[in-house]
Structure 1
Amino acid sequence: MILNLIKILHDNYVWLLTNNKGLSVIIDPGDASPIIKYINKKNYHPVSILITHYHKDHIEGTLALLKKYPKIKIYGPPKKNNINKNINFVYDNEIIHVSKYKFLIIYTPGHTKHDVSYYFPPYLFCGDILFSGGCGKIISGDSTLMFNSLKKISFFPDDTFVCCGHEYTLPNLKFARYILPKDNAILKYYIKIKKMIKKNKSSLPSLLKTEKKINIFLRTNEFLLQKRIGLKEIKENEGECFSILRKMKDNFNWS
């Protein structure tokens, strides 16, 4: 399978997973026009759409794609939405068959109450839950849901490619450097990503192995990190550490 990446809107990514016959799975189509243009250029044949959650920047192109490709099948988490009648709902630990390929559904709420991720080894399509160097904002989910979802993802194989929905890596690493200014792994990765972005290259997908080293939201069990954000007891509750970090990032001064 070939992994394709299409940049849309301001900083969103749409992912296409395509086999050697050109049959393609589209993940989170926030804008139909660039997707159709890309598909036509590559002579691909879309067979399904996978939706991680129902925010506009992840689904806006769905109905236009359905109109263009009326046989396409759409999958997403169970929630009322404006494309509801066309959705095949998916559930935690379910395996869906797209063409001859199997996708494992993982319930990963936190950004919203209904987020799901799709695992097709070695690729994890996780929407706005885990970003490279960070995690999603808590919109209609809550801190405990998000923390538990990130923990769940952290147990996936180290060679898993994290295919998330936005190019947020550089600002995420800027915040991480503020929290852990002496962390050499974060500093080196920040320099690397800064050079890539300057050359207009994508930082994604990233390896889960790398994320475990540079993503502070996956390191909430570390005493030094807990101490830096004001927790005093060794190995204090990881969930509390995550909650404080997330609030700090929400209020971070980016200037």
Structure 2
Amino acid sequence: MHVVPLPALADNYIWVLHDDDGQAIVVDPGDAQPVEAALTQRQLQLRAILLTHHHHDHIGGVAALLAKHEVPVYAPHDERIIQATHRVSDGNVVELVSPAARFEVIEVPGHTTTHIAYTGEGILLCGDTLFSMGCGRLFEGTPAQMLASLDRLAALPGNTLVCCAHEYTAANGRFAQTIEPTNTALAARRQEVAALRANDKPSLPVALATEQATNPFLRTDNDAVIAWSQRQGVAGDRVARFAALRANKDVFTG
């Protein structure tokens, strides 16, 4: 399976997955135009659309795509996503014949209450739940929900390719460095990202193992993160540590 990030809108990535025969899946198409351009340029046939949550920058292009392509649309149980043809929930499996692909659905509330992720084919399609060296804002869910969701994603195999929906990596890395200034894996990842972005290349996808080594939101039980939390006056509870991380990231301007 070929994994292609399509830049869209301000800083989104729409993910296109396709096989060698040109059969394609599109994930979170917030804009139809870059999808149509990629289908034409790469000589692909759209066969399915996967959606992770209801925000417009993830579903805004669905109606225009359906006007040209008669394909199934997989989405969470959320009435705000009106174009869905197949509603899926935790533990459901999306199995496609063309392209041959199988994805398990994981419910990951936090960013929104109905957010889902898809994992399979060595890929994690996580929408706005997990970002490289970061995580999504808590618009509808609680810190406890988001931490539980991230714990589930972090438990996937380390070689899983994480396909996030935004190019936030450089900014996330600057924040992560303030939490773990002596983390050598983090420093190396930041250098890698700087080189990629300087050449206008995506920082994604990224191996989950890299995130486990560099992402403070996956490292709430790490000694350095615990020490940082204690300096913030937060003791003990890992949910409180996570909440402190998220609150500090919300106001971070570095």
| Aligned-pair CA distance for 1:224 | 2.3
* Displaced runs of 4 or more, over 4 A: 231-235
Which structure 1 segments of 5+ residues have no match?
Answer: none
- SS of match in other structure, 1:230: helix
Q: Across the two proteins, how many residue pairs are aligned to each other?
A: 252
Identity percentage of aligned residues: 34
Corresponding residue of 1:7: 7
Q: Take 1:82 and 1:234, find their aligned partners in 2: how far apart are those partners?
A: 38
Q: State the AA in 2 paired with 1:96.
A: V
| Aligned-pair CA distance for 1:177 | 0.8
Corresponding residue of 2:165: 165
Q: How does 1:126-141 map to 2 (within 5 A)?
A: 126-141=126-141
Corresponding residue of 2:236: 236
Within the alignment, does 1:196 sit opposite 2:223 as a pair?
no
Q: Take 2:56 and 2:72, find their aligned partners in 1: how far apart are those partners?
A: 19
Corresponding residue of 1:73: 72
Q: State the AA in 2 paired with 1:105.
A: V
Q: Take 1:216 and 1:82, find their aligned partners in 2: how far apart are those partners?
A: 32
Q: Take 1:147 and 1:159, find their aligned partners in 2: how far apart are those partners?
A: 21
Q: Take 2:102 and 2:207, find their aligned partners in 1: how far apart are those partners?
A: 21
Q: How does 1:1-255 map to 2 (within 5 A)?
A: 1-69=1-69, 71-81=70-80, 83-84=82-83, 86-99=84-97, 100-230=100-230, 236-254=236-254
Q: Take 1:225 and 1:40, find their aligned partners in 2: how far apart are those partners?
A: 47
Indicate the RMSD between aligned Cα atoms, in angstroms. 1.7
Question: What do the CA deviations read for 1:72-118 (whole angstroms, capped 9, x no partner)?
Answer: 1100000112524x431001011122224211111111100011001
Which structure 2 segments of 5+ residues have no match?
Answer: none
- SS of match in other structure, 2:25: strand
Question: What do the CA deviations read for 1:146-186 (whole angstroms, capped 9, x no partner)?
Answer: 10000001110010000010011100000011122222221
Contact 1:158 1:207 in 2 (8 A): yes
Q: State the AA in 1 paired with 2:152.
A: K
Contact 2:235 2:241 in 1 (8 A): no
Deviates further, 151-160 or 218-227:
218-227
Q: Take 1:39 and 1:183, find their aligned partners in 2: how far apart are those partners?
A: 41
- SS of match in other structure, 1:75: strand
Q: Take 2:134 and 2:248, find their aligned partners in 1: how far apart are those partners?
A: 12
| Aligned-pair CA distance for 1:237 | 2.1
